[in-house]
């Protein structure tokens, strides 16, 4: 089970990488896969060097041997992918990884001992097969070790570690070979072989990785689905395929990720001839590659934080389209300095997409098929890489050199590499747009507006235990009526329900309510008003809402953060962004799983009652602004809102609310299994009027 996130003990923002590493289970797994990745890279360098050494001075054989090692590293994925996924979903994932690491260590040890090219190639295939099972087992485990809102940061760490370990691996490999050669020279030939040494070191990294993973007891077997707990391999493959093709989001992800890799492979496959055509030579080649990979690292590391408020589905697809546009620029601009800049942007977009795609797979794919899906993606990616790398140079060669007149007697010459890149760029854009169509979760909201608003915003923390529902709307819209009705309906069904409200659900909150709403308070600074409401929220979340959610209760609050954004952020002359920042901080960014917005013309709402408190007494324009702000908030995140016409009769409204809430409900406290205390709690508790807050008890609750 995941070590659950608790805003009370770890209030770090979701994108804080250190906060993920504070999760013990993930940290240990990270040490394991960090070492495995390091081993993988050293292995690649050492085995290609060893293959070359077997060929001696025979240039052709050396190329064949190196090509053979590289080809055999890709080949197993093409045939073994589905089997690897089946194994990863069926076996205990921790033991799969431990045994996998130990097997890889043992296989690496045998290579210098047997010392033949044939065994080197056979062992390469076997190691790759083990890696194919190990990878999906690891990828599928991560979402179970970290809370959902930290999965993206966990994936950033995973990807940066996997690809970033290439650099220390190369440095280590160089250091070993230099050291071994110096020892050889100094001792006059003890027979220390630097490549063998690197291979043994590599074996050691896998063995230590296995030991590190042994201590992660939290990793287990995949959740079993349905009555058939051990489906056959064939059945698993068919189910996996139909899951991927039949689930639009996953289909979009697989198509998108494959497209991104195809675009990347085109740059890798044609980079050499492309820079030759720009007369940039080896330095240009190095520059271009450094730019793409540097951009990738920047995208993986910073894009999620930079666009923290943007829907991940949109960021994924936009990244793909961005990479396609970058590739177009690369193909058209025939100047190495500008091409380098473009390559950084291209890498950035691809990196953003890659980390989002991985996170979405972890979030959208159920545990029982996650291993298969990751294996499927890895196979698809490797197949696409292999095919693109093979086809791109031929396509470029076949296209050849072409000159185009651009007027004024001038011509530009594009050769096959640039034109093939252009074709790949168009494909990448089309694939990105297709992925967008399949996955967009905010239809109707213009992307640029979304993008502008997303800067500096946080994605929010949505409870995964219990259910959190907020009712929002203007004065007299019927929030109290509907929240009471909803609470009654849920209680009848056996749920523990906590009905609460803002401001004033705690003793402290009652005092604040008195101050902010009493007309006798008169005019106070709008910032002071905003802070008083925010203080009420902070206490409400810590003392009332979180403890109830941790118990698995359904929490219904009559008003929450949206009220502050609408009343203080839009009604008053305050900056919305400031109000949002303060309120997100005050509530540890806890957001309702669903906000029910009861929309009503202010005049109608005011006509439903007589009394006027300090806020209700504000002029009509104030309440109009508040109404518009509520509607805009709902339009910006439709998946978290139910907007209803509050002029509808009470019963119809209640039925509509029930229909929307029903599929979101958590499991009921099981009559037989639930502890007595939980059963006793299965009633409606109303906060804000009678009960004082029992802080001591709240502090003792289990984290959720
Ligand atoms: N659908 C409805 N149609 C007509 N009247 C309603 C409806 N729902 C509630 N009312 C009436 O409107 C008045 C205000 O309802 P309620 O207290 O539920 O609204 P509220 O949104 O909680 O108000 P406030 O913002 O003041 O807390 C009550 O007299 C209630 O009986
Ligand atoms: C939470 C919250 C509330 N308000 C305003 C909105 C209402 O005018 C009152 C609360 O009264 P109710 O009868 O309990 O609905 O307070 C606000 O301005 N900002 C907030 O964050």
For 472, list phi and psi in degrees, rounded to 5. Answer: -130, 165
Residue 526 has pLDDT above 90, yes or no: yes
Query: What would the pLDDT profile of 422-438 be if each residue is shown by its tens digit?
Result: 998 998 899 889 888 88
Name the residue with the closest Cα to ligand 2, atom 1.
Answer: 502
pLDDT recorded at residue 538? 97
The answer to whether the CB of 559 is under 6 A from ligand 2 is yes
Topology of the domain covering 460-700:
Rossmann fold (3.40.50)
Confidence band, pLDDT 50/70/90 cuts, at residue 355: confident
Candidates 326, 327, 304; CA nearest to 315 is 304
Q: SS3 for 686?
A: strand
Paired residues of 413 in beta bridges: 403
Confidence band, pLDDT 50/70/90 cuts, at residue 391: confident
Provide ipTM, 2 decimals.
Answer: 0.98
Q: Which ligand is nearest to the CA of 602?
A: 1
Which of 479, 559, 611 most suits a substitution to test ligand 2, by most atoms within 8 Å of the C-beta? 559
Candidates 339, 331, 328, 325; CA nearest to 291 is 339
- Residue extents of the structural domains in the chain: 1-222, 460-700
Contact (Cβ atoms closer than 8 angstroms) between residue 214 and residue 97:
no
Rounded distance from Cα 447 to ligand 1 centre (Å): 36
Residue 694 has pLDDT above 60, yes or no: no
- Cα dihedral value 164, 165, 167, 169, nearest 10: -170
| Mean pLDDT comparison of 55-64, 128-137, 342-351, 553-562, highest-scoring range | 553-562
Candidates 307, 2, 26; CA nearest to 157 is 26
Q: Which ligand is nearest to the CA of 513?
A: 2
Instruction: Kindly state the percentage of the chain with pLDDT values over 90.
Output: 36
Query: What would the pLDDT profile of 492-516 be if each residue is shown by its tens digit?
Result: 999 999 999 999 999 999 999 999 9
My answer on whether omega of the bond before 614 falls inside 30° of 0, hence cis, is: no
Of 499 and 302, the structure prediction assigns the larger pLDDT to 499
Residues having CB closer than 6 A to ligand 1 are: 473, 475-481, 608-609, 649-650, 653
Q: Which atom of ligand 1 is nearest to the CA of 646?
A: 1
The answer to whether the CB of 616 is under 6 A from ligand 2 is yes
Residue 674 has pLDDT above 70, yes or no: no
Topology of the domain covering 1-222:
Growth Hormone; Chain: A; (1.20.1250)
The answer to whether the CB of 108 is under 6 A from ligand 2 is no
pLDDT recorded at residue 247? 81
CB atoms within 10 A of CB 383: 16
Rounded distance from Cα 502 to ligand 2 centre (Å): 7
Binding annotation = 473-480
Residue 682 has pLDDT above 50, yes or no: no
Rounded distance from Cα 338 to ligand 1 centre (Å): 62
Q: Which atom of ligand 1 is nearest to the CA of 474?
A: 25
Q: Which atom of ligand 2 is nearest to the CA of 479?
A: 15
| Cα 8 to Cα 19, 540, 586, 588, distances in angstroms | 13, 13, 12, 8
Residue 690 has pLDDT above 70, yes or no: no
| Cα 280 to Cα 273, 291, 630, distances in angstroms | 10, 14, 56
H/E segment holding residue 179: helix 166-187
Of 562 and 385, the structure prediction assigns the larger pLDDT to 562
Per-residue pLDDT, averaged over 260-283, amounts to 78
Per-residue pLDDT, averaged over 115-123, amounts to 91
CB atoms within 10 A of CB 673: 7
The answer to whether the CB of 474 is under 6 A from ligand 2 is no
Rounded distance from Cα 613 to ligand 1 centre (Å): 16
Binding annotation for ATP = 473-480
Name the residue with the closest Cα to ligand 2, atom 5.
Answer: 615
Rounded distance from Cα 264 to ligand 1 centre (Å): 58
Q: Which ligand is nearest to the CA of 503?
A: 2
pLDDT recorded at residue 680? 39
Confidence band, pLDDT 50/70/90 cuts, at residue 2: very low
The pTM (predicted TM-score) of the whole model is 0.61
Rounded distance from Cα 253 to ligand 1 centre (Å): 45
Calculate the average pLDDT of the chain.
83
Residue 13 has pLDDT above 70, yes or no: no
pLDDT recorded at residue 534? 98
Query: What would the pLDDT profile of 449-480 be if each residue is shown by its tens digit?
Result: 778 777 666 667 888 789 999 999 999 999 99
The answer to whether the CB of 450 is under 6 A from ligand 2 is no
H/E segment holding residue 403: strand 402-407
Q: Which atom of ligand 1 is nearest to the CA of 648?
A: 1
Candidates 463, 582, 461, 592; CA nearest to 530 is 582
3-state secondary structure 540-563: HHHHHHHHHHHCCCEEEEECCHHH
Name the residue with the closest Cα to ligand 1, atom 3.
Answer: 649
């Amino acid at each position: 089970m995941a070590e659950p996130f608790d805003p009370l003990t770890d209030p770090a923002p979701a994108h804080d990488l250190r906060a993920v590493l504070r999760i013990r289970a993930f940290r240990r797994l990270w040490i394991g896969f960090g070492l495995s990745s390091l081993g993988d890279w050293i292995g690649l360098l050492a085995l290609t060097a060893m293959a070359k050494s077997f060929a001696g001075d025979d240039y052709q054989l050396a190329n064949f041997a190196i090509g053979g090692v590289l080809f055999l590293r890709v080949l197993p994925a093409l045939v073994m992918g589905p089997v690897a996924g089946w194994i990863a979903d069926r076996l205990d994932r921790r033991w799969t990884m431990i045994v996998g690491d130990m097997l890889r260590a043992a296989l690496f040890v045998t290579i210098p001992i047997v010392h033949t090219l044939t065994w080197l190639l056979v062992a390469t295939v076997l190691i790759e097969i083990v890696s194919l099972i190990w990878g999906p087992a690891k990828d599928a485990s991560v979402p179970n070790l970290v809370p959902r809102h930290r999965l993206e940061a966990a994936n950033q760490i995973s990807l940066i570690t996997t690809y970033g370990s290439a650099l220390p691996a190369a440095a280590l490999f160089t250091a070993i070979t230099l050291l071994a050669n110096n020892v050889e020279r100094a001792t006059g030939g003890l027979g220390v072989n630097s490549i063998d040494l690197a291979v043994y070191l590599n074996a050691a990294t896998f063995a230590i990785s296995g030991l590190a993973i042994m201590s992660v007891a939290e990793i287990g077997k995949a959740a079993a689905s349905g009555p058939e707990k051990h489906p056959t391999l064939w059945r698993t493959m068919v189910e996996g395929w139909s899951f991927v093709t039949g689930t639009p989001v996953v289909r979009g992800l697989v198509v998108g990720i494959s497209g991104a890799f195809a675009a990347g492979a085109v740059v890798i496959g044609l980079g050499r001839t492309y820079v030759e055509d720009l007369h940039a030579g080896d330095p240009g080649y190095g520059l271009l590659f450094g730019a793409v990979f540097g951009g990738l690292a920047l995208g993986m590391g910073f894009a999620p934080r930079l666009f923290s408020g943007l829907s991940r589905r949109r960021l994924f697809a936009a990244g793909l389209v961005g990479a396609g546009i970058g590739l177009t620029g690369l193909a058209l601009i025939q100047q190495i300095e500008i091409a380098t800049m473009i390559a950084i942007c291209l890498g950035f977009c691809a990196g953003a997409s890659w980390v989002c795609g991985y996170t979405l797979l972890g979030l959208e794919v159920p545990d029982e098929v996650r291993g298969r899906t990751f294996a499927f993606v890895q196979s698809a990616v490797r197949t696409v890489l292999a095919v693109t790398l093979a086809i791109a140079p031929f396509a470029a060669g076949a296209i050849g050199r072409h000159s185009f007149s651009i007027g004024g007697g001038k011509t530009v010459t594009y050769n096959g590499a640039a034109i093939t890149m252009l074709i790949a760029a168009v494909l990448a854009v089309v694939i990105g747009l297709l992925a967008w169509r399949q996955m967009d979760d905010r239809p109707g909201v213009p992307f640029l507006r979304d993008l502008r608003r997303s800067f500096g915003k946080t994605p929010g923390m949505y409870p995964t235990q219990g259910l959190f529902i907020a009712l929002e709307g203007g004065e007299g819209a019927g929030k109290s009526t509907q929240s009471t009705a909803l609470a009654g309906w849920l209680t009848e069904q056996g749920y523990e329900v906590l009905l609460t409200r803002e401001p004033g659900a705690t003793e402290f909150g009652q005092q604040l309510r008195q101050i902010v709403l009493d007309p006798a308070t008169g005019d106070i600074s709008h910032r002071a008003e905003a802070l008083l409401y925010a203080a009420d929220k902070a206490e409400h979340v810590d003392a009332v809402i979180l403890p109830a959610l941790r118990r698995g209760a359904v929490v219904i609050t009559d008003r929450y953060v949206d009220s502050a954004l609408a009343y203080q952020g839009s009604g008053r002359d305050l900056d919305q962004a400031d109000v949002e920042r303060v309120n997100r901080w005050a509530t540890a960014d806890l957001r309702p799983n669903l906000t029910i917005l009861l929309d009503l013309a202010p005049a109608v709402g005011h006509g439903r009652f007589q009394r006027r408190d300090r806020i209700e007494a504000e002029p009509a324009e104030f309440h109009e602004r508040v109404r518009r702000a509520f509607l805009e908030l709902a339009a910006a995140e439709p998946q978290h809102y139910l907007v209803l016409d509050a002029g509808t009769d009470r019963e119809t409204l209640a039925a509509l609310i029930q229909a929307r809430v029903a599929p979101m409900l958590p499991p009921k406290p099981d009559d037989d299994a639930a502890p007595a205390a939980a059963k006793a709690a299965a009633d409606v508790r109303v906060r804000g009027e009678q009960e004082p807050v029992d802080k001591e008890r709240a502090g003792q609750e289990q984290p959720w």
